[in-house]
Amino acid sequence: MQPSLVVHLTLAWVCWTLTLAQSIPSSKALETVPIGCVSGKYFHDHIASGSGSLTPQPDRKNCKEQCYVTGFKYAYFRKQSKKCYCTSSDRQSPPAKQMVDGTDREGRCKDTHASIDYFQSQYKFDLCYDKVPGPTSRKKLVSSHEKCFDYCHGNGPDNDSWVVSVVPQKKEGKYLCKCFTSNAQGKGKHNCGPNDAFRYIH
């Protein structure tokens, strides 16, 4: 084969490879985010008795690592009893009426309560606010944070929201899911808890 032909074929292959790579959309890494706190009683009576994996862990960080590396979607951790529960069942994401107040705006919980982390969010957690005002592209009541993320993320750029607000509605036992195509800002500093807005961003 002539050298010039080899060069042409090589260049053609490189161009085809670059074109193919550009045509494949890059996948955004999924995030680990806090989604609230539940009471120790609810954790032991209704969560840890499920079909997931219950292990002793020294802290929340180790609990999250344990659940993540073993392929689960949720990590529950109660510091007082050092119990870590891993599950992938959305049915074990607690109803909004079971949410209790956290200790800060960053998703931390009291030692007697159990924290909840979710590993497959399309959004990063920002902070908790009194509210996230502004016009929404769509909103509805959902059974969990996971359902809200999927609802706001949608298919295609026209349905993909920049900001998501999740507010526990204790009376309804569900979460008010609000999707924003703009960079809607939170208003009012507040610890994460019932009726507070958990703000997530792309």
Condensed to tens digits (0 to 9), the pLDDT of residues 140-195 reads: 999 999 999 999 997 655 567 999 999 999 889 999 999 999 999 999 988 999 98
pLDDT confidence of 93, banded at 50, 70, 90? Answer: confident
What six digits make up the tokens of 88?
Answer: 């992938």
For 37, 79, 168, 185, 198, the CA distances from 31, given in Å and listed in that order, are: 18, 23, 21, 20, 15
Whole-angstrom distance, CA of residue 85 vs CA of residue 165: 26
Residue 199 and residue 127 in contact, taking contact as beta carbons nearer than 8 Å: yes
pLDDT digits (tens, 9 = 90+) for 97-135: 999 999 999 999 999 999 999 999 999 999 999 999 999
pLDDT confidence of 202, banded at 50, 70, 90? Answer: confident
pLDDT confidence of 15, banded at 50, 70, 90? Answer: very low
Whole-angstrom distance, CA of residue 196 vs CA of residue 67: 27
Query: Is the sign of the CA dihedral 186, 68, 169, 38 positive or negative?
Result: negative
